[in-house]
Chains A and B, each alone.
Chain A
Amino acid sequence: KAGVTQTPRYLIKTRGQQVTLSCSPISGHRSVSWYQQTPGQGLQFLFEYFSETQRNKGNFPGRFSGRQFSNSRSEMNVSTLELGDSALYLCASSLSLSKNIQYFGAGTRLSVL
């Protein structure tokens, strides 16, 4: 069974640009959560999608948005990039809304110059 796949693995953008990250969950998983990982803050929850609906949202500005498609694949978009958005963005999938067992992808490393 394939794991969680995130693309691209690396991105370099400049301030003010926007970026879209993609996540394909494990087959059969309907919940996709997104996290931002930085050395100073650790893992911070961005948002979660289940059956194409946003179910939970963390404390991030509106520049961070996402969506989920009918095949459970999810995208995350960050508009008007800031230097502080440089981070590893992780996607995790689970069968249900419960976070008890989540499977993480390897992440997308975003660098904002």
Chain B
Amino acid sequence: QQQVKQSPQSLIVQKGGISIINCAYENTAFDYFPWYQQFPGKGPALLIAIRPDVSEKKEGRFTISFNKSAKQFSLHIMDSQPGDSATYFCAASGWDDKIIFGKGTRLHILP
């Protein structure tokens, strides 16, 4: 019940395309869903986050879509660029101040 399942494990997208990463959770007590971006040799950095009271949040080319009934959320990267090539982690946290991460998606954008 504490897991966050992330897919796919790896993703290759052409420059200019849309990258889509999906996550699913089971614990309905989660109330905060962040996405982190990690470049090689660096720690993860918070990219964008959403709460379950909204279905979508957009920041620049990055959009989170949230489906509360299905307990799923996804990250869309529009107009994907080579500089977006990184590992992306979804996560979920709740009232107990614990955070659970997905296993990550390695995204490669072809130039």
Contact = CB atoms under 8 A, between A and B. Distances in A.
A99 B43 contact: no
A56 B96 CA distance: 9
Interface string A73-104: 00000000000000000101000011111111
Given A99-B93, A100-B34, A100-B49, A92 B104 contact: no
Interface string B15-45: 0000000000000000010101000011111
B54 to A, nearest CB: 15
Given A42-B89, A43-B89, A43-B104, A99 B99 contact: yes
B98 interface: yes
Contacts of B43: 4, 90, 92, 104-107
B34 A104 contact: no
Nearest to B103: A42
A42 B101 contact: yes
A25 B100 CA distance: 21
B21 to A, nearest CB: 13
Interface of A: 4, 35, 40-45, 48, 55-56, 90, 92, 97-107
Given A90-B43, A99-B97, A100-B32, 9 more contacts: A40-B103, A41-B103, A42-B6, A44-B101, A92-B43, A97-B97, A99-B98, A105-B43, A107-B43
